[in-house]
Chains A and B, each alone.
Chain A
């Protein structure tokens, strides 16, 4: 137990030091002792040039830790540094009470690239579970490490890892009329933050295209809300909705061809579906209440959305082509902004009770109305966004006057804070799986 705490302090300090330079600070606030112990040894460098700055083993360990499913052995407790299968002494790792061991090495590949080989061992069985090699540019060793963490996660748990993914979020710096907004994209651990767009007017509701190449978002830069779609690699963007009234809450369909959105040009906010190629919109809901925050079920046939048609906001579903509306959330006086977990069996939402807003997860896997569970401890928690494998949820919270992001395991056991060193961070959106 004691060792475990030290580990977290160490990671916290490391995170703080590196994070400040990078923009986001990763700061674990709560861990789990029920997690699987794993040791990731620093990868040996066998190339000819300068050793890289990135410690691949440490990035893998931090990823596994962050999931809440694993508890990585602290760097200070790693006493042996096997680089090849023949160097591994299982007795040492059994003594350290590790269930799994990861080793690896980095060598030169063609045209300045690097080759990273790694092995995963089951310590008790003294067996090699996996051995693979992946290539990487020297400046993308973190990306390679995230891919390795994904493979290890899947090998042990049987669920595809989501560490090699990106997140989008909005920052606000300065106060009052001098506030500057920025839509940012970073790695899932907060590293490599990049500015997508800056604005002196509010930005909100970023949404990823299923291929991870585009972001839709709402900007007030034209004086009213309008929806933009922007290519991440080129930065080129287009206004796709700038009607009178609200243009909000964009969400790409699972096949990427359509955008669900909220428009109020009819007089009050309704859900629409836009064919992105033709920009033609079809109205989905027709009710005098506020209907907004649509998200697509994985089959692309159903939308889940927020409506206050029963008085207070609750979550509902409707066929994407329009039709009968079905209420989804029944527990809690205020439920809004749903995010769908893996295969749509679980829904995260912002749940309000009096002045307290927290993230609730509704598990519908056993049928019926489902079971609702609160997984965040704050007082103004909102904007939940599931990782594509459903294992973690990003959400926005307030600390004093400042907005911060938290990543919490889907069961609520492990929570980590991602803080921008300066200003307000909000509106997180976890991107899709990436293709190699």
Chain B
């Protein structure tokens, strides 16, 4: 469960809330612009994501959706992330992800399991609204059992009330 990818991605996320950039143009530094290597087939960008974008695209690199206390409503700030991951699932039907739902420490553990699942389901619905298929999405709730932050204050609670997007197939 504790894949290093998730940690790296969480760190990357903290860095900024950069806008989602759709790949619609050929970037100048890509092989297609280098005629000295004609044996490399030209990449025809069809506007679709490929697996490498998970590591490079500034929107796809964001994998955490945050929630308010005892709430499972998707906040406006998360819409861009859900759009690009929804598009990725559309572009790559073989891709699959687990949505790990979490809660902060307040309240009882079993109720928080329910709350974490409700959040995971909310993210799953939003991804399906953005083109993902139910068969690509798996929700697992950890409740309050896997906090990323262990202080008893709002700053920490806010970081723990989250859904983590974990790709299980790219």
> B107 within 8 Å of A by Cβ?
yes
Contact residues, A274-319 vs B (CB, 8 A):
290, 292-293, 306, 308, 312-313
Comparing A47-55, A62-70, A114-122, A242-250, the segment that makes contact with chain B is A242-250
Q: Is the CB of A246 within 8 A of B107?
A: no
Q: Determine whether the beta carbon of A248 is less than 8 Å from that of B110.
A: yes
**Contact check: which of A223, A350, A398 meets B107 at CB < 8 Å?**
A350
Is B164 part of the contact surface with A, judged by Cβ < 8 Å? no
B79-123 vs A, Cβ < 8 Å mask (1 yes, 0 no): 000000000000000000000000001111111011101100100
Is A414's beta carbon under 8 Å from chain B?
A: no
CB atoms of B118 and A268 under 8 A apart: yes
Whole-angstrom CA separation of A334 from B111 in the bound complex: 11
CB distance from B21 to the nearest CB of A (A): 32
Chain B residues with Cβ under 8 A from A352's Cβ? 106-107
List A contacts of B44 (CB < 8 A).
Answer: none
Q: Is B77 an interface residue (CB 8 A)?
A: no
Closest Cβ of chain B to A99, distance in Å, is 41
Q: Which residues of A contact B106 (CB under 8 A)?
A: 352, 355, 357, 380
What count of chain B residues pass the 8 Å CB interface test? Answer: 25
Is A233 at the interface (CB under 8 A from chain B)?
no
Q: Are B152 and A398 in contact (CB under 8 A)?
A: yes
- Cβ of B49 under 8 Å from chain A: no
Q: Tell me which of A306, A313, A336, A379 contacts B152 (CB under 8 A).
A: A379
Q: Across the A-B interface, give the 7 residue pairs with the lowest CB-CB distance, nearest first.
A: A290-B114, A202-B145, A177-B2, A337-B108, A336-B108, A269-B114, A249-B110
Q: What is the chain A residue whose CB lies nearest that of B98?
A: A223
Q: A380-B105, A380-B106 are in contact. Are A290 and B140 (CB under 8 A)?
A: no
The reply to whether B114 and A292 form a contact with Cβ atoms under 8 Å apart is yes
B2 — nearest CB in chain A belongs to which residue? A177
Q: Is B139 an interface residue (CB 8 A)?
A: yes
In the complex, what residues of B have CB within 8 A of residue A313's CB?
Answer: 107-108, 111
Write the nearest CB–CB distance from A355 to chain B, whole angstroms: 7
Say yes or no for A409: interface residue by CB 8 A criterion: no
Is A427 located at the chain interface by the 8 A CB criterion?
yes
Interface residues on A, range: 35 or more
A237-281 residues at the B interface, CB under 8 angstroms: 245-246, 248-249, 262, 264, 267-269
Contact A337 B1 (CB under 8 A): no
Q: Are B107 and A357 in contact, with the CB atoms below 8 A?
A: yes
Q: For residue A336, which residues in chain B have a CB less than 8 angstroms away from its CB?
A: 107-108, 111
Residues of A contacting B118 in the complex (Cβ-Cβ under 8 angstroms):
268, 290
* Residues on A with beta carbons closer than 8 Å to the beta carbon of B150: 175, 401
- Is residue B136 within 8 Å, beta carbon to beta carbon, of the partner chain? no
A401 touching B108 by the CB < 8 A rule?
A: no
A223, A248, A312: the one within 8 Å of B113 (CB) = A248
Interface string of B112-138 (1 = CB under 8 A from A): 011101100100000000000000000
Check if A380 sits within 8 Å of B152, measured CB to CB: yes
List the B residue with the shortest CB-CB distance to A402: B150
Docked-complex contact A223 and B117, CB < 8 angstroms: no
Choose among A245, A268, A334, A383 the residue that contacts B109 (Cβ–Cβ < 8 A).
A383
Cβ of B151 within 8 Å of any chain A Cβ, yes or no, is yes
Q: Cβ of B117: which chain A residues have Cβ within 8 Å of it?
A: 245-246, 264, 268-269
Any A CB within 8 A of the CB of B142: yes
Judge whether A224 is part of the interface by a CB distance below 8 angstroms: yes
Contact of B110 among A205, A267, A380 (CB under 8 A): A205
Choice from A177, A223, A306 contacting B108 with Cβ under 8 Å:
A306
Residue A108 is within 8 A (CB to CB) of chain B in the complex: no
Can you pick out 23 interface pairs between chain A and chain B where the beta carbons lie within 8 Å of each other? A204-B109, A205-B109, A220-B145, A245-B139, A246-B114, A246-B117, A248-B110, A262-B113, A264-B114, A267-B121, A268-B117, A269-B114, A290-B114, A292-B111, A306-B111, A308-B111, A312-B70, A313-B111, A350-B108, A352-B106, A380-B105, A382-B108, A398-B152
Q: Which residues in window 1-40 of B have CB below 8 A to A?
A: 1-2
Interfacial chain B residues near A312, Cβ < 8 Å: 70
Q: Do the beta carbons of B110 and A262 come within 8 Å of each other?
A: yes
Q: Given the complex, which residues of B lie within 8 Å of A382, measured CB to CB?
A: 107-109
| A337 touches which of B110, B115, B141 (Cβ 8 Å) | B110
Is A225 in contact with B113, judged by CB distance below 8 angstroms? yes
* B159 beta carbon closer than 8 Å to chain A: no
Q: Which residues of B contact A337 (CB under 8 A)?
A: 108, 110-111
Residues of the A chain whose Cβ atoms lie less than 8 Å from the Cβ of B1: 201, 220, 223
Q: A427 contacts B109, CB within 8 Å?
A: yes
Confirm or deny: B146 has a beta carbon within 8 angstroms of a beta carbon on chain A.
Answer: yes
- A-chain residues with CB within 8 Å of residue B113 when the two chains form the complex: 225, 246, 248, 262, 269, 292
A84 to chain B, nearest CB (A): 52
Complex CA gap A380/B152 in Å reads 9
Q: Given A204-B145, A225-B141, A401-B151, A293 and B107 touching (CB < 8 A)? A: no
8 extra interface residue pairs, beta carbon distance < 8 Å, beyond A352-B106, A401-B150: A201-B1, A204-B109, A223-B140, A225-B113, A245-B139, A248-B113, A383-B108, A398-B152
Residues of B within 8 A of A220 (CB): 1, 142, 145
A380–B1 Cα gap in the complex (Å)?
A: 28
Contact digits for B33-65, partner A, Cβ 8 Å, 1 yes 0 no: 000000000000000000000000000000000
